[in-house]
Structure 1
């Protein structure tokens, strides 16, 4: 094919660019303007590139062959003469191997896109001669094997994407040969991610995408210390992994996991973090100091979770926060959220977006947090209005304590046993508390004797009431009494 002076029939020519798309059965033009800098043959129904099809285009910098049916590139000759080519797009074709011989002559190439082909393996020196290559895209192929020498001599490679392939082992040694790599995307591969120590061979990596890889162990990230951008969304995480060594992190994506609770100081060493995504993780509880240390955070995403309330002043450490997303959570619109209305942070939507899940009358009318009357956002502190007295029982008797409470919203009630040990809400086999404030003990024994405390709390405060249980142990011929000397107190 030779270079001509006029725009080919059926194409558009604009400022050095020649656009020939949707060719269907139309034959490839025989010539292109010699001044062509960018050539687009998108969806042109090409099945192969033969010898001399792109000769005499000395100024061509970008060649786009995306969306054809190319399965064959003539060795070497197919790209011969394209000495200025910097960008080559062969994505969405039918290639089964990397066209190594064809690529060898493209010494100026900076970007190569081989996404959405049928490539099965990356063999030794498949990209030989591409010493200036900066970006290599290999997503959505069928790659299951990566040779340890696959990226040898790619001395300028900065970005490598291998998303959605069949890779099971992190190709750390191969990646390490690309000594300048900064961005690595491995999302969507069935990787064994218990250990990432092989990536120590590539200490220049700053941005790592491991989304949707299956299961990531909580210690897997320990070998990596220089990351600034990490995506570990949809990795079957049940808790925040160990991240304290990543003090240079700027962007962290933990979305689509199953992290139900954020502990105190979960990200405290990430003082440079600017973006934190915690959406769709089934989050129901955030401890008061969970965001301590995040003084640089600008964007925080908490949408699509199970949050009902938030600790007062939760966002106080976030001095740089500009955008907050709390959308689509089942909010309890009571006094515990009164403070949130006064927080002056730009949100992805106004308070009208935050629908009330409780109280029931607000849910029925679909009130938003902004529409809740102020009086309903004021708490009535808990008060224990009636309770049982101290009990004096014989061993084997049942014990029943009652602790009636009032307050708005309805206070939570918990019980503490002797020694201040909490009694599980599910019971422990003999002792069964209820949310209504009762505590029942079957077949009391000497180890049950002591002081019991009823604790009631809501957003307005808490109240306590204590009771003594004295147990008489039958002996023969005498009997003894076991009790706790602590007296009854009230909160």
Structure 2
């Protein structure tokens, strides 16, 4: 009897051992094991929950979006790519990757992991990419990445990390990209990047940094792109970026910078994009900036542009000075800039411009002077250059212009799009646009009541005149207008249309405002229209279609669509004393332009009334 029981026990143990060996062999041959509750199971195959296949980069185990709550999986040793993202994981066991020495990529992003063991990645010494974005980490062990000597991409964004050990990246000399954005970092250790000499892209944006320690970037000499935007930085050491000779993009917008050292960017000879928008800089000088190609100073506290500020900027071609407090510009404000591709000055306090402002500067693509208080365009503003500018787009909407002379646009022989909406224009001289190559003029919502001069003598041009109070349009006014040209206007107040030119006039209303088709060259204009009460959409082949928002709706730069105007109960109708912002019986604003702006991690209402 005892012998029989012993034989049965031995047979059971042998069968169990064979089963275990079979499972181990299957795992080694590429069959994953699925984990449910506390049991080990196959993850691939006909009953598996993961996708496993050979790719060009190696053998992939994709267990993303599988509602996994734990990860006690036996992973085959030949796996090279492992994806466990978008699950409900809270813990990675210490030995999860013990047998996976061939792994070159691990993705455990978008889970609920709050802590990692120091040994978690010690066995994956060949790892090149590690993504642990979107988890719940508040801190990381000092030596967690120590053994990852081949690591080139490390993503740690969208966590709750408050501080980092000074030695945490000491073993990562081959690191090229490091993302630490959207955390809660307040201070960085001075030696944090001492060993990351191969770093090319570093993202520290959307944290709570208030200052940068001296020497922080002294060893990251290969750095080409540095993002420190959306923090609370008010101080940076004068030589903070001194060793970054390869730096091409430096983004510092939405901080609290007020003063910059004169030598801060002196050594950044390859800097092409310097973004200092949304700070509190009041007095920039020529010594501040190197020979960057793109300079962004939007939304600061600048009141004055010093003479010759840009005279040493031989490569500067794009200047963004919008939404400051600039009240005046001198003839020498842009002295030294021989060629400017894009210049924005919208949203300042400019009431006049000097005639010689662009005397030595060729404007080659676009100029935005909208949302100021300009009442007149001085004679010679564009002709003083001596030859035609290459400018294609001129934006003058939302100013106080009252008339257009026949020499206003002299010198703009290449001009294609002219935006003059929402001024106070009541008079347009005969042949006011002669010499340009205009395709489209926007004169929406001005004070034009009578069109009698031959102002629009151009071929193949769209003229937008609606939202005016035009009572009369004469036959003389349409003489010289090309057969393919079209005047869009509200016709309900007209006595009659000129009999021989009905094909040139299209009557529109709130439901039939014409759209504008813009190719990829004019993408910048589409973006501007979206901030001015238009809705633009991509219609394929690199083209955008922009249409004015109808009465009762408003457009927004971030929303990129027309939405219904809000109720006015909070502010009251008296707040909206503008010519086309009218409260209805429903206490609703009939016409407005309220747009949203993404600032840090939340939205602000920004009210811009039409």
TM-score if structure 2 supplies the norm length?
0.53
Q: CA deviation at 1:330?
A: 4.2
Q: CA deviation at 1:73?
A: 2.0
Alignment of 1:66-465 (within 5 A): 66-76=133-143, 78-193=144-259, 195-199=260-264, 202-204=267-269, 206=271, 207-219=273-285, 221-241=286-306, 242-295=309-362, 297-311=364-378, 314-316=381-383, 317=385, 321=390, 323-326=392-395, 328-330=397-399, 332=401, 334-336=403-405, 340=409, 343-347=413-417, 351-359=440-448, 366-367=467-468
User: Structure 1 residues 12, 167: CA separation in 2 closer, same or farther (over 3 Å shift)?
Assistant: farther
Residues 167, 191 of structure 2: 8 Å contact kept: no
User: Structure 1 residues 108, 209: CA separation in 2 closer, same or farther (over 3 Å shift)?
Assistant: same
User: Structure 1 residues 29, 372: CA separation in 2 closer, same or farther (over 3 Å shift)?
Assistant: farther
Q: CA deviation at 1:123?
A: 1.9
Higher relative contact order (CA 8 A, sep 6+): 1
Residue-by-residue CA offset, 1:273-299 (whole Å, 9 max, x unaligned): 322222222444333332233336333
User: Structure 1 residues 374, 68: CA separation in 2 closer, same or farther (over 3 Å shift)?
Assistant: farther
Which range moves more in the overlay, 350-359 or 63-72?
350-359
State the structure with more CA Rg. 1
* SS at 2:242 equivalent: helix
TM-score if structure 1 supplies the norm length?
0.64
User: Structure 1 residues 48, 250: CA separation in 2 closer, same or farther (over 3 Å shift)?
Assistant: farther
Residues 222, 245 of structure 1: 8 Å contact kept: no
Residues 263, 287 of structure 2: 8 Å contact kept: no
Residues 443, 465 of structure 2: 8 Å contact kept: no
* SS at 2:264 equivalent: helix
Q: CA RMSD in A?
A: 4.0
Residue-by-residue CA offset, 1:45-71 (whole Å, 9 max, x unaligned): 221232343455566433222221112
How many residue pairs end up in the alignment? 373
Q: CA deviation at 1:141?
A: 1.1
Gaps of 5+ in 2: 1-26, 33-42, 44-48, 82-103, 420-438, 452-463, 480-610
Structure 1 or 2: larger strand share?
1
Residues 190, 214 of structure 2: 8 Å contact kept: yes
User: Structure 1 residues 106, 181: CA separation in 2 closer, same or farther (over 3 Å shift)?
Assistant: same
